[in-house]
Structure 1
């Protein structure tokens, strides 16, 4: 008996072969690397607590060690660890004062709340950054109920600051002895702190892209206040138009809307959906998705995404995050990166021609496979390094583990149609994509595109 849901469960298990906490950390890294600032800082940590899910054996073992350590201090030196074993996971900064996007969107749709012109553009910039994040990581679980919106009224800034401040207890409760992190876990915990520092450090660099005539002290004041209201880092204005927008909002006393993209645990798939479900983006059907990408977004992200070496560096740094998984597989990771690079390629092309986010979702899925160098021996035993062209021995992300390809899922493009830059591309990054990657097009489509 055919069961389509069974296939989707298997697909999700395969897609989630990457642990969810690593997907959360990877999304936070992409957010920081591109300067999107829509994901609360997230890091990989190792923690232990009695409230975690442990088996009876682990709890009995921890209680026995704790009892022996309390009665015989000298014998406690024999134990490498006297508490519960640590569990590795992702730790994300908690954001206060936000509500589900579907609630705020319903208010705007029913005219219960007004969206002034300046506030609309301020929100649209962040909304399009959310689209860039979800599209790059190919988030398969993005509905309008798992990204958040916060409204900060111009007259209630002081109240927002008090609400977002975390009360610090001068007499904290004693931590139970069953929590023990160890030296190895301390390294992981420091990475979460460093991720937050990197995100917050962006506001210390100033507005380098602005004209000298603009008072930078006003920029720092606005950014500092927005960062407190938002709960994490705020993107700096990269042009005079963005700064003018912030100043207009301040003078007109319009409300500000901030976005927090949470729940990124089902991202970085190893292939594009091509079976029963299409896993569409929830924001693709909103009216905001029918608005073309703003010039501020295009001017900021096209130079970054056009440089294939920047994308290659991003993949290498993602590899360092994913390698923390004990079941890390190099072939599986390369397939994930081929999907992500294909998404980046489509995104940069859509930004260049001024497409809308809705049009971006309709573009043909791409695989950008890393070109491998094949070693050949010469006549006298000398090794010759020649680049592999076409399908002549290339090992890429879309080859099955047993070495057999799947011709019904994608097609290879000829060398003439390889992923070069578009007609209006910059000369500085000309043909960097064609040097590093080979393009494959996904031709197999899911049965339901809207679900």
Structure 2
């Protein structure tokens, strides 16, 4: 049945249609501006007062069955008396397209507004997309599972303490600090708690966005890095740290160094380091600090991944803005500035290291100097004690760089400082000052490779070119007692791996596969360190000559509680005896089935899989209970592998 709408309702219907599809409606304008107004979206449009008594259902049907020939339609009345109410139509409005209306100005205004709307909605976003770096949604990182090492390749020594609890690790740290400083335990200078760093971050953000003390770009280096300033209580401005944005790295799309841009654009085959993950320097900086904290060395300044914004940062044309609060945030690494340190190459030129045997034999035993009571400047001179101090500090740098396989450690990216302490004296006119050498490791953005260098360059460590009197000596006893208990502790490795993974997962391009490769290289390097520290005659030179190794983490599921004698028998069954007697064992991970054993089990199809004697206890439990069955725990079996890739072409570069 077709309904016919009287001519009196055509005007009302046309008005409703224009309100519902008009480009000037509030909902349409809200969507075009890119924002949402909850009040406008939640409040329905109120119909005209003259249509208050019309049935909504009938009107919706009348839009689809309109006919000008119909003069009467049934209208449902909301009134209880069911008495028809006369329809009051609004006064007719003049046609906007009539000659009496100024069409030229109206058309130009509409054209300008439409063009501005089109520019905001389409042109500017398209230009930003074309000229800005590609932005990817942050991938979902797999939930952190328990990292429990069941079998470790790092074997502890019997005469050294074993660290099996967090309390043991802290006591070891306290003992190391007190033995080095000869005073009661106190936190190192580079130590910074989370609360202190949070306060520092709030302070520098306020300095930038409210006081407009903007960061200053550093001219040295191959990436965009900036000095971040702070204000002391007395009003003095000081350098609080160094910020390195991710998108301004040499691999980044917004690197401000034109030489690196030309290098990457015109000579891509000679650019970058294939062993490193591109655009991950800021994560490497923070991971170096994390590893240094776990090693209890504290030679790396506190470093964390943060977000900052400033007009002095290098932005694309479409993101530039004079108002700092309207600029997009940049993610990068923030490293606390080392106060009072000098670059190693500058300090060594000013204080040449004794290298020949005759000069070293004539050195005094101590470097203490006696000066006037009011003197504040002191002259450093080498002595037997200062040579020992410098060697122990360099050994900290050697172990840190070697474990994280730093590919960019020269004499220009580690620092040296001499602290002076007054020695008790009976004189009232003079004082005796004692020097203490400290080392700071900065610029660790080219570390943590996913494979060993195997192409053109080998990236040797810069400290290998120090005089033989420093780098050619065996590792000191203090260094051995410091690092061996840590590197051979399962608990320490579990905490360190969890901490490093937490840093690397902050990157939106984090990949689990590459992380496992990075960890294999790191553990292989640490294995070489442990083996060298066990030898009393070996030092950094012997460490650098070690072959490249990898330590992979194999996952296995084991039962949490073994109560029955049958399960104990399975655990002690053919996992050790059958495979070893048939020479199918793996000398590094005896708990894992070897490839030869897998081949035989696949070829002998007549063997019953339910037979207990045909498999080890681990295989039987995993087969019956399932890999992720309730009651099984996830453990790590470390597997040592020799690197088989060819050495780089240039071993000295």
Q: Aligning the two structures, in what range does the TM-score lie when normalised by the shorter sequence?
A: 0.5 to 0.7
Distance of 2:472 and 2:509 partners within structure 1: 41
Please name the residue that 2:551 is paired with: 368
Structure with greater Cα Rg: 2
Distance of 1:31 and 1:297 partners within structure 2: 14
Residue 468 of structure 2 is aligned to residue 302 of structure 1: no
Map of 1:39-438 to 2, 5 A cutoff? Answer: 39-59=300-320, 83-109=326-352, 114-154=381-421, 253-286=433-466, 287=468, 288-354=470-536, 355-373=538-556, 388-390=592-594, 436-438=637-639
SS of aligned partner of 2:524: helix
1:275-316: per-residue Cα shift (whole Å, max 9, x none)?
Answer: 111100010122211111111110111011012442233112
Distance of 1:359 and 1:141 partners within structure 2: 20
Q: How much has 1:83 moved relative to structure 2?
A: 2.0
Q: Give the number of the structure whose residues are more often helix, by fraction.
A: 1
Aligned CA RMSD, in angstroms, stands at: 3.2
Please name the residue that 1:380 is paired with: none
1:135-169: per-residue Cα shift (whole Å, max 9, x none)?
Answer: 111100001111111123457x9xxxxxxxxxxxx
Please name the residue that 1:191 is paired with: none
SS of aligned partner of 1:149: strand
* Contact 2:456–2:650, Cα closer than 8 Å, also in 1: yes
SS of aligned partner of 1:15: coil
* Contact 1:149–1:259, Cα closer than 8 Å, also in 2: yes
Distance of 1:15 and 1:117 partners within structure 2: 40
Q: How many residues of Structure 1 are paired with residues of Structure 2 in the alignment?
A: 288
1:115-150: per-residue Cα shift (whole Å, max 9, x none)?
Answer: 112222222221111111101111000011111111
Q: How much has 1:13 moved relative to structure 2?
A: 5.4
Distance of 1:309 and 1:124 partners within structure 2: 29
Residue 192 of structure 2 is aligned to residue 9 of structure 1: no
1:440 to 633, 641, 646: 641
Distance of 2:543 and 2:303 partners within structure 1: 27
SS of aligned partner of 1:59: coil
Q: How much has 1:94 moved relative to structure 2?
A: 0.7
SS of aligned partner of 1:135: helix
Q: How much has 1:34 moved relative to structure 2?
A: 1.2
* Contact 1:8–1:276, Cα closer than 8 Å, also in 2: no
**Which consecutive residues of structure 2, in runs of 5 or more, have no partner in the other structure?**
1-266, 355-378, 425-430, 559-569, 576-590, 599-634
Distance of 1:134 and 1:270 partners within structure 2: 15
1:25 to 265, 283, 286: 286
Distance of 2:289 and 2:400 partners within structure 1: 9
* Contact 2:393–2:438, Cα closer than 8 Å, also in 1: yes
Moved over 4 A (4+): 5-8, 110-113, 384-387, 390-394
* Contact 1:59–1:84, Cα closer than 8 Å, also in 2: yes
* Contact 2:320–2:327, Cα closer than 8 Å, also in 1: yes
Distance of 1:337 and 1:360 partners within structure 2: 19
Q: How much has 1:393 moved relative to structure 2?
A: 12
Mark the CA change 1:110 to 1:306 in structure 2 (over 3 Å): closer, same or farther. Answer: closer
Higher relative contact order (Cα pairs below 8 Å, separated by 6+ residues)? 1
Distance of 1:374 and 1:14 partners within structure 2: 32
* Contact 2:275–2:452, Cα closer than 8 Å, also in 1: no
* Contact 1:293–1:351, Cα closer than 8 Å, also in 2: yes
Distance of 2:449 and 2:270 partners within structure 1: 13
1:34 to 295, 303, 325: 295
Mark the CA change 1:40 to 1:301 in structure 2 (over 3 Å): closer, same or farther. Answer: same
Distance of 2:269 and 2:554 partners within structure 1: 32
* Contact 2:284–2:445, Cα closer than 8 Å, also in 1: yes
SS of aligned partner of 2:547: coil
1:79-124: per-residue Cα shift (whole Å, max 9, x none)?
Answer: xxx6211111111111122221112223443779631122222222
* Contact 1:40–1:95, Cα closer than 8 Å, also in 2: yes
Give TM-score scaled by structure 2 length. 0.41
**Which consecutive residues of structure 1, in runs of 5 or more, have no partner in the other structure?**
67-81, 158-217, 219-250, 376-383, 395-433
Distance of 2:297 and 2:412 partners within structure 1: 20
Q: How much has 1:339 moved relative to structure 2?
A: 0.3
Distance of 2:432 and 2:526 partners within structure 1: 37
Distance of 1:309 and 1:107 partners within structure 2: 44
* Contact 1:107–1:113, Cα closer than 8 Å, also in 2: no
Distance of 1:334 and 1:8 partners within structure 2: 27
1:401-425: per-residue Cα shift (whole Å, max 9, x none)?
Answer: xxxxxxxxxxxxxxxxxxxxxxxxx
Distance of 1:96 and 1:332 partners within structure 2: 36
Distance of 1:346 and 1:41 partners within structure 2: 27
Distance of 1:125 and 1:252 partners within structure 2: 24
1:180-226: per-residue Cα shift (whole Å, max 9, x none)?
Answer: xxxxxxxxxxxxxxxxxxxxxxxxxxxxxxxxxxxxxx9xxxxxxxx
